Structure 1
């Protein structure tokens, strides 16, 4: 039941995101997915709706309790390469175990032991599944990507409620030598 609701929310947010102008062209989207070398740039977060979370969200500036938190101007991202996944994302929602280290808040990790599976769907969209064996808290992530590079990211954790992010894919920036 929860998975169905989460999938419906992800699809709805993907269709809303696709109404805006394209972030990347189709060729770039295909290239970065096939090369397993891209950055997911998060623009909004959608925690699983429950009474406690909605109560907190309604008190945030600009948060009408709708459940969507805008992340504009932030540098929250998920970097995917052939040999690693680096996550630097916020977390809003219920955690079932508390962390004693404030640096462990959010969804922050670097994984070298993971599986990557990209499936092309009808009409040029993609579903990318990431499963982690060495991430302490995160079990898996699913990216639903439009042909124009818009994406929704669903994160499933061991100790936290699931959360979704909207954003877009981009090519990684070249590191200066």
Structure 2
């Protein structure tokens, strides 16, 4: 009887751990289809500022750590369509020319004049480089997409320190009619 209870507890624990796992991997065929189509959405899960002053401040707060604080809520995205690039990501780091309007202190813009270059990266990944011509502060956005859908994004700006994001690729939502 005691062995049966132990087996049931282990099975319940295994099921809970499996159900609470992070974002599931996307099949590589679906990732390849999204990349071929050229229209997809990057969903950010975590931010990593490169400025250690920011990390040190977050670590100095009581009962917190910077790694946990930089887990992002659902909804921070980069949406790539044929004619536009829409970026909605938070920013943590040093700004050299901040704005009094706090809405301008994060990355929230839509670019209609941009170039995309695509290369094959290491270990079968695909690396996109976006150069926006109508956004004076954003120098480039580098997005590395792996075959399981996991994605790494780095943003270089003229007026702030670089920042990177981890997340996953997903299909873009269809517009509501």
Q: TM-score, with normalisation over the residues of structure 1? A: 0.80
Aligned to 2:119: 119
CA contact (8 A) 2:139 2:156 kept: yes
CA distance in 2, matches of 1:163, 1:142: 11
Query: Who wins on radius of gyration, i.e. which is larger?
Result: 2
User: Alpha carbon RMSD of aligned pairs, Å?
Assistant: 2.2
CA contact (8 A) 2:49 2:55 kept: no
Gaps of 5+ in 2: 1-21
Aligned to 1:134: 134
Aligned to 1:155, the other structure's residue is in SS state strand
Bigger relative contact order (CA 8 A; separation at least 6): 1
CA distance in 2, matches of 1:138, 1:158: 6
Q: How many residues align?
A: 157
Aligned to 2:142, the other structure's residue is in SS state strand
Q: 1:28 aligns with which of 18, 30, 37?
A: 30
CA distance in 2, matches of 1:132, 1:91: 18
Q: TM-score, with normalisation over the residues of structure 2? A: 0.80
Aligned to 2:59: 58
Structure 1 residue ranges (4+ consecutive) displaced by more than 4 angstroms after TM superposition: 59-63
